[in-house]
A and B are shown apart, each in its own frame.
Chain A
């Protein structure tokens, strides 16, 4: 994609809002990995089960695409917060459907009960993703960059980073989920971080 990784989304956003189709496509292409990563993090941590988040991402981007005229913000922060809000809304729907699907619950429950870190998950509606005050110095371009880099990792590297860094699970739990030994996931994690750092610092070809 012919763009500078560190640039603001705003010029693109302005062009997209004025109806330029190619700008819309590029804007959503740039945000896709970001939305996907957040969707994966949230869906996984609320359900403690592997669920393919791609429907959620598709739905979110589609709604954002249709509603882009309604977006009134003027900064990257507002744009990404808007995307997260749509995503949160869809996630809630998704979780509600998931919960009412008795069959799915019956099948998935045993996974949840053994999770040691479910204090903030069980039965609570996910918080609005816009409410994340602790991000001391948010750097939105960097966030998008990281999401892109994670998307380019190998599957097991992506999974271990998702579980360890995004969902902050302890290594024991990650080992259980990935069906490997604890030392093995620790080594995998080290390699994944190294690889990620490499991808971040190497200019995109």
Chain B
């Protein structure tokens, strides 16, 4: 061992992670404070003798205050929102961002809070943090929900919060979590509710879907509770698995009803376009921001979405970002549950899909009617729903599988025209005709296969690219085989394919389609182009294809920018 040179003597060892000037006590205290800054909490069990650090609580309190101020000054990059979290945001006012649970929660365990003592944090969501707490004088255990102060910024919102909480306190039903008390302590608005021992439906569903009978049983009780609320004039607006608690006997209890409304808009207010709810369980009328159209039937939709998830293990629409989820909620049709998981009774599936109808008029007229039909399923009796009409089924299929439907709409008329033309004219080579028809048939079969693959739970990511390549390939083949001069008019197919590829809203797919179209065009150029075509025309055509690709790609990029903006706003 060598002695450090004297001129560097004042500098402590750079490699040591710990300050050498600290004694052991100081060192330990530093580690605890540092852990608190890094993790937002310290493991109490690691503190051997709390009495030897009398200053610790004060210092931690100080750090916690600093952290909350730092959050205001320079927010940490947000953690990605948990799926299923309620979004609350405003389309006009940039100051009202979705509530998120940041990475830096500071825990308030074991502190007195007004008449309560906080025991532990049991949850956190869009509106606030939920603690298990004990009423200090009554000794009763409650769930105490503290509302984030940002969510109740204006006097108007506070008034509405109290109005809704009072309405909720007047509700008493065995399947509803009762509200006991609402108030304010130390500037924080809170409400106290029944503490339900058990877990919420969301965590139960993480272990996979439920047996159909059990799903029907749970939903019957939840629908009855919703029906009771509706008859009291309360619309839940945010029914979702995490708002359904299951007690130790497995009985569901609905919570958080009506609260969404506190943060919702009404016509008298200046805010517009607020979307309240959780995209995956939100009805189309909520998703499109029509606050005035929200009714008990919106809750019926959410009940259907919950049933869907209980049956299949996933909500009807689930995408990585809220924009795609919202668009699907508004536009597309869910895959029938029985295709995702065999063994689901047909009646239960019809009930589920009826709840999920886009048009509220087509859903069950009330949550009570839904509960009645669910009970019939459980009792093996016929349900009351009329048989689905064939054109309604067709409409559902078009919404559910637009990719396949659009190919059918292109291929089948084309095949019909070619067939009719074959019979009308007598100079067509039978081999050529058969080849064209085979190409079209093969195209159709590939489309059906791709659609089937796409419907699967774990659809490969390359499917959209496969659609693009297949379309360009089979179009080229059909033209090449059936080519009778001149074929120039048929070349309209490539621009059409490029424009259609824009509907995937992915820039790289547009360019892929442009590239395969150019290759296809090249093949036709070599095999089938009329010999007297002026030399510059094919170049001009290729340039036009590239230009169309660029325009469509640019449009898609614009839409993506809007979507990203939307995603950032929504977390």
Residues of A within 8 A of B (CB): 37-38, 41-42, 45, 73-75, 77-78, 80-81, 84-85, 119-120, 127-139, 141-143, 146-147, 161, 164-168, 181-184, 186-187, 190, 193-194, 196-197, 200-201
Contacts and interface: CB of A to CB of B under 8 A. Distances in A.
The 7 closest A-B pairs by CB, nearest first: A134-B102, A183-B19, A130-B95, A41-B73, A131-B97, A38-B73, A165-B66
Interface stretch (B147-155, B241-249, B302-310, B491-499): B147-155
B104 interface: yes
Given A131-B94, A139-B187, A186 B58 contact: no
B62 A200 contact: yes
B75 A73 contact: no
B154 A73 contact: yes
A120 B108 CA distance: 29
B419 interface: no
In this complex, the interface size class of chain B, counting residues with CB under 8 Å from chain A, is 35 or more
**Residue from A84, A128, A182 having most chain B Cβ neighbours under 10 A:** A182
B373 to A, nearest CB: 41
B190 to A, nearest CB: 10
Contact of B95 (A37, A75, A131, A194): A131
A84 B150 contact: no
A134 B69 contact: no
Contact of A77 (B12, B37, B77, B150): B150
Contact of B155 (A42, A75, A131, A197): A75
Nearest to B29: A190
A169 to B, nearest CB: 11
Contact of B153 (A78, A127, A129, A181): A78
A187 B76 contact: no
B62 A193 contact: yes
Contact of B70 (A41, A131, A184): A41
Interface string B5-37: 000000111101011111000100110010001
A76 to B, nearest CB: 9
A132 B72 contact: yes
Interface in B34-62: 37, 55, 58-59, 61-62
A99 B368 CA distance: 63
B153 A77 contact: yes
B101 interface: yes
Contact of B65 (A77, A84, A146, A164): A146
B62 A196 contact: yes
B179 interface: no
B62 A136 contact: no
A128 B71 contact: no
B105 interface: yes
B155 A133 contact: no
Contacts of B105: 134, 136
A143 B68 contact: yes
A129 B146 CA distance: 23
Contacts of B70: 41, 165-168
B106 interface: yes
B99 interface: yes
A143 B188 contact: no
Contacts of A135: 68, 71-72, 102, 148-150
B12 A181 contact: yes
18 contacts: A37-B73, A74-B155, A133-B78, A133-B97, A133-B98, A133-B99, A136-B105, A136-B124, A137-B148, A139-B68, A143-B68, A147-B69, A168-B70, A182-B19, A183-B12, A183-B21, A186-B22, A187-B22
A19 B222 CA distance: 56
A77 B94 CA distance: 15
Contacts of A127: 75
Contacts of A41: 70, 73-74
Given A78-B154, A197-B55, A134 B14 contact: no
Contact of B63 (A132, A165, A181): A165
B194 interface: no
Contacts of A164: 37
A133 B68 CA distance: 11
A161 B13 CA distance: 23
A128 B95 CA distance: 8
B338 interface: no
B236 interface: no
Contacts of A161: 66
A136 B69 contact: no
Contact of A194 (B12, B19, B21, B59): B59
B94 A197 contact: no
